A and B are shown apart, each in its own frame.
Chain A
Amino acid sequence: MGQPTLYELSQITVGPHSFKSNKPKAARRFKPARQLLTDETKYLQSKNLKFDTPTYTSLVSPPTLKPIKKYCDITGLEGKYKCPSNGIRFHDVEVYQEVVKNMTTSLDQEYLSLRGANVVLK
């Protein structure tokens, strides 16, 4: 038996299948993830839940209470210093001279976006 063609592979999925009704059904409504999450929040608010009921929103890990360690945005090494003009953290003078100092604005935003420190215009 040779390789099945893509069409044959497709037929496995498309059917017809004995295990389901092959009648055409009404199309489902598509909702983007963000809207589904809003729906979920609304649904949870509409319910009278106890404070410790585990829900999608209550399960999320809380913001950290520990001091945040600082790392170089370029190399990921320890980042002791911060460039005053664009806020990039860097490891040593070499990284500053070679990369940070002459960085274009769009590039520094890209580096900052790695740790969510970029400027987001709304």
Chain B
Amino acid sequence: MAPSKKGPEEFPPQTKYALKENTVTQVDQPFYQHYDTGVPIAIDMGSYQLRAGLTNSNTPNNIFPTLMARYRERKSNQLLTLVGNDVYRDPLIRSSIKSPFDGSIITNWDYVETIFDYTFAHLNVQSTNESVNNPIIMTEPPATTLNYRKGLYEMLFETYNAPQVTFGIDSLFSYYANTNGKPQDAIVIGSGHQSTHVIPVCQGKGVLSQTKRIDWGGDQSQQFLGKLLALKYPYFPSRLTPANTTNIFQDHCYVSEDYQHDLKHILDMDILESKDIVLQAPVEIVPEKKKSEEEIAAQTLKRREQGKRLQEQAKVRRQEKLLQKQQEYEYFVNFKSEFEFLTPGEVQKRLQTENFDDLSDFNKYFTNLEKSIKKQEHNEEDSDDEGFNDGNIDPLTAWPLVGIPDEQLNAEEIKEKRKQKLHKGNYEARQKSLEDKRREEEERAQYEQEQKEWRERDMEGWCSSKRIELAQIIHRVKERNKLLESFKDRKSMAAQQRMRSIADLANDENGSTNAASRKRRRNANATIDNDPNDTFGANDDDWNAYRDITNVNLEEEQAEDSKVILKLEEELLTYDANFHHEDTLAAQTTFDWKNSSLHKFIHGPRPNISLAMELEGLEQDEIAAHPEIIMKNHQLHVNVERIRVPEILFQPHIAGLDQAGITEVCDDLVNRRLGKFETDSPSYNVIKDVFITGGLSNLPNFDTRIVNEFTGFLPIGAPLRVRKAQDATIDPWKGMKLWSDTNECKGSYVTKAEFEEYGPEYIKEHGLGNVCLME
């Protein structure tokens, strides 16, 4: 491995952000103090939030999420109905939180009624005739469904007996507020909780026929982010709640000004440093009691003593056993000597009293006993008498008996001779290996000498030829790796080939159609195990077939080549000035997390601390219990996602939505649907005010991105102006308040009588509202 010049780099700790749950707002919704009959009530009901207030106030009195919960409290056994922020007051309620919306459509009108009850109660609506005696201005989405308006009409006219009701589009109200009630020409981009709308406004009137809807909003973004993070951190200890992901989305996502460029560089170390966000889930760390040095030392000492004691005990036990065996042996020697004076029948009897079957059984036992005693004695005596010293052996005189023929020796000497022969053989073998080693050394020295001369003669040539050699071997190793790798895949060409050759081996060598194999097939008794024609194994080379099958050769060659590579690299490192540690194969293939996009994606711009701990020699469970590791396991890194999720508004296909994004819709609108782009044409006028509103307009850089995109498809010098709503959440309500004073508003109210006559389709069209579909 390449030693780095510096020590391990130090990184400052990253800022950690908390993984936020829904904040429990204990602030009570205010009750309105200036209720007055006849003052219009403006309600901006979106699928995320509801803002409501009387129009004699400057801001909506109540803003709360469009949520409710019906929940039976265990203690008092009371059925509770909670609305808005109150649903977050008790974590037990969380599972019964409901929304009247399913997507952008209201499905549950009972929930709507509950939410309206809550709203009117907080607006302090006072009445004597069981009616809300105020005109009501409400928002609805562009080109809403009939069911939506019918539901609201019925709700307001029949349940609350409202005198008159009018509807308008939230984004247009927001635009109206931001022009101080003087709408001109504009493109309104309203990006809300469930969908995003692009609405052109011409001469103060929304052009619904040229409006387009992209079915992507904050809710889908939040869900998508949740899915991404769940896939990115499959072992994250806790499940991310929608509240978690919503908060991540709101706090950390931003619109990229130039997505392709940002994407290319977001994982660059310096950029990632600022873009990577660490989110820390709450985690409790129980501090582990640390043992002091002395305690550890005492512990090891104790353990060692214990081991010693055990060893001694075992030794004593062994000796006892040996003693016992020796006694037994002596006994049996006596026992055996008695046999000489007995008849075979008596011997048998004696043997049976000692629990032996017959004489051979006894002999077997006796020799075993003898052997084991000898062995044990030998072990006890010269357990440390190992190693050879050939230095003082004279090969000529050390084994005098070896040269003398057996006939001239007595039995004792023959035994001694055999021993000497063995010693001599060993001695000679050792000498031979020494000789070999010496020769190898000489060869190496000679090779070194040659190399040295070559280098002195032609340094450049030496370097380049060595480099070429190295490259060739590396190439060979890589090829072989590929081959070995491909064997793992059952379907690969190499693996198929190998299977075929195994099948061939199982068949007869000459193919399966010759006479012998046909005969074998006919002979049902001949199995593969007892086939008389099978000569496998007669020749020792046959067994090589198994080597071929198991790729032993490949692996051996691989090991050999890697040795050669190391040697070559070492030579090049010492003599070639241009060959550095970074150029070695090891350095190129060792994992450097800074080059790993996957590491940086998952762990951010910091090294893997668990790997570092492993290198320090900590145990696995020690690492798992380390507080830093526990903290890390509860962390999320958000980097690419920060721009990936908002980008869906511009490229919906990222999330599999087959719709044109904001850019394409606007491009089409300006350059085609509103007519030719020329001075003072409608399309020329609308781009003078591109207005962004809705919850997602709070994403940083949304306006700059829109500028970039519009500049992309507009001719040079087009009078482009892009702006965001001042406060996207309450601007629609402010627009409604502003509009409630106008004659346009007063003329657009539908009375209860009109509703009863014309039905839910009927609305009076105005510049900020939908188109009436009645014929």
Which residues of A are interface residues toward B (Cβ below 8 A)? 3-4, 6-7, 9-10, 12-15, 17-22, 25, 27-28, 30-33, 36-37, 39-40, 43, 47-49, 52-56, 58-66, 68-69, 71, 74-78, 91-92, 94-95, 98-99, 107, 110-111, 113-117
Contacts and interface: CB of A to CB of B under 8 A. Distances in A.
A5 B82 CA distance: 11
Contacts of B266: 77
Interface in B648-669: 651-661, 664-665
Given A19-B126, A77-B266, 15 more contacts: A9-B82, A13-B114, A17-B120, A20-B130, A20-B161, A30-B107, A37-B145, A52-B209, A61-B660, A71-B644, A75-B601, A75-B640, A76-B640, A111-B231, A116-B655
17 contacts: A10-B81, A14-B117, A19-B130, A20-B117, A25-B159, A33-B107, A49-B773, A59-B143, A60-B213, A61-B659, A63-B658, A64-B652, A64-B653, A68-B653, A76-B640, A77-B640, A116-B656
Contacts of B306: none
A75 B26 CA distance: 40
Contacts of A40: 145-147
Nearest to A23: B130
Q: What are the 7 closest A-B residue pairs judged by CB atoms, nearest first?
A: A116-B656, A33-B102, A54-B208, A61-B659, A76-B644, A10-B80, A115-B656
B86 A6 contact: yes
B76 A7 contact: yes
Interface string B140-179: 0011111100000000000111000000000000000000
A113 B224 CA distance: 11
A32 B473 CA distance: 68
Contacts of B114: 13
A111 B228 CA distance: 9
Given A54-B143, A61-B665, A77-B597, A6 B105 contact: no
B128 interface: yes
Given A10-B82, A17-B121, A60-B212, A75 B597 contact: yes
A74 B266 CA distance: 15
Contacts of A115: 653-656
Contacts of A64: 652-653, 658-661, 664
Contacts of B120: 17, 19-20
Nearest to A62: B660
Contacts of B78: 7, 10
A56 B597 contact: no
Q: How large is the interface on B (under 10, 10 to 19, 20 to 34, 35 or more residues)?
A: 35 or more
Contacts of B652: 61, 64
A19 to B, nearest CB: 4
Nearest to A61: B659
Contacts of A65: 660, 664
B272 to A, nearest CB: 12
Interface string B103-121: 1010111100010011011
Nearest to A34: B102
Contact of B143 (A20, A21, A55): A55
Contacts of B73: 6-7
Contacts of A10: 78, 80-82
B264 A78 contact: yes
A14 B773 CA distance: 36
Interface string B594-610: 00111001000000000
Nearest to A71: B654
B82 A60 contact: no
Contacts of A7: 73, 76, 78, 80
Given A19-B131, A53-B209, A61-B660, A76 B641 contact: yes
Interface string B627-656: 000000000000011001000000111111
Question: Chain A interface mostly helix, strand, loop or mixed?
Answer: loop
Contacts of B569: none
B231 A91 contact: no
B90 interface: yes
Contacts of B224: 114
A66 B664 contact: yes
Contacts of B665: 61
Contact of B597 (A17, A47, A71, A91): A91
Which of B78, B108, B117 counts the most chain A CB atoms within 10 A? B117
B89 interface: yes
B146 A43 contact: yes
B128 to A, nearest CB: 7
A28 B656 contact: no
Contacts of A76: 228, 263, 640-641, 644
Nearest to A78: B263
Contact of B771 (A37, A54, A66): A54
B211 interface: yes
A110 B229 CA distance: 12
B125 to A, nearest CB: 4
Nearest to A50: B209
B394 interface: no
B267 interface: yes
A114 B656 CA distance: 7
A111 B655 CA distance: 11
B462 to A, nearest CB: 34
Given A13-B82, A78-B263, A114-B224, A61 B654 contact: no
Contact of A13 (B83, B108, B640, B654): B83
Nearest to B101: A33
B775 interface: yes
Given A7-B78, A59-B211, A30 B108 contact: yes
Given A32-B107, A56-B144, A78-B264, A19 B160 contact: yes
B215 interface: yes
Contacts of A107: 231
Contact of A21 (B121, B130, B212, B227): B130
B28 interface: yes
Contacts of A116: 655-658
Nearest to B145: A40
